[in-house]
Chain A
Amino acid sequence: MIVAKRKPFDEIKQLLKGYKKVLNIGCGTCVAVCLTGGEKEVSVLNMEIDMARKLEDNPIQIDGFTIERQCDREYLEALDNRVNDYQALLSMACGAGIQFLAERYPHIPVLPAVDTTFIGVNQAVGWYEERCRSCSSCVLGLTGGICPVTMCAKGLYNGPCGGTNKGMCEIDSSQPCAWFMIYERLKEQGRLDCILEITPPVDWLNQIPRTLVQPGYKKPE
Chain B
Amino acid sequence: MKSGSNLEKVLLAGHFAFTGELGPPRGTSAEEVRQKASFLKDHVDAVNITDNQTAVVRMASWAASLILLQEGLEPNYQMVCRDRNRLAMQSDILGAYALGIRNMLCLSGDHVKFGDHPTAKGVFDIDSMQLIHTVKRMRDEGKFLGGADVEHPPRIFIGAASNPFADPFEWRVHRLAKKISAGVDFVQTQCIYNMEKFRTFIKMANDMGLTEKVYILAGVTPMKSVGMANYMKSKVPGMDVPDDVIKRLKGAEKGKVAEEGIKMACEQIEEFKTMKGVAGVHLMAIEWEHKVPEIAERAGVLPRPKV
Q: A interface vs B, CB < 8 Å?
A: 153-167, 170-172, 177, 180, 183-184, 192, 196, 198-202, 204
Contact = CB atoms under 8 A, between A and B. Distances in A.
Contacts of A198: 129-130, 133, 178, 181-182
Given A153-B111, A198-B133, A158 B178 contact: yes
A163 B109 CA distance: 9
Nearest to A168: B237
Given A154-B82, A162-B190, A167 B167 contact: yes
A154 B127 contact: yes
A161 B161 CA distance: 10
Contacts of A183: 168, 171
A198 to B, nearest CB: 6
Contact of A158 (B113, B127, B237): B127
B126 to A, nearest CB: 5
Leading 6 A-B pairs by shortest Cβ distance? A162-B163, A170-B237, A158-B129, A163-B237, A156-B127, A161-B108
Contacts of A159: 127
Contact of A162 (B122, B130, B166, B174): B166
Interface of B: 81-82, 86, 108-111, 113-114, 122, 124-130, 133-134, 145, 161-163, 166-168, 171, 174-175, 177-178, 181-182, 190, 237-238
B83 to A, nearest CB: 12
A159 B180 CA distance: 15
Among B108, B128, B133, the most chain A Cβ lie within 10 Å of the Cβ of B108
A200 B134 CA distance: 10
Nearest to B162: A162
Contacts of A160: 166-167, 171, 175
Nearest to A155: B124
Contact of B166 (A154, A163, A192, A204): A163
B166 A157 contact: no
A192 B178 CA distance: 13
A184 B127 CA distance: 21
15 contacts: A153-B111, A153-B113, A153-B122, A154-B108, A155-B122, A155-B124, A156-B108, A158-B178, A170-B237, A192-B174, A196-B174, A198-B129, A198-B130, A198-B181, A200-B130
Nearest to B126: A201
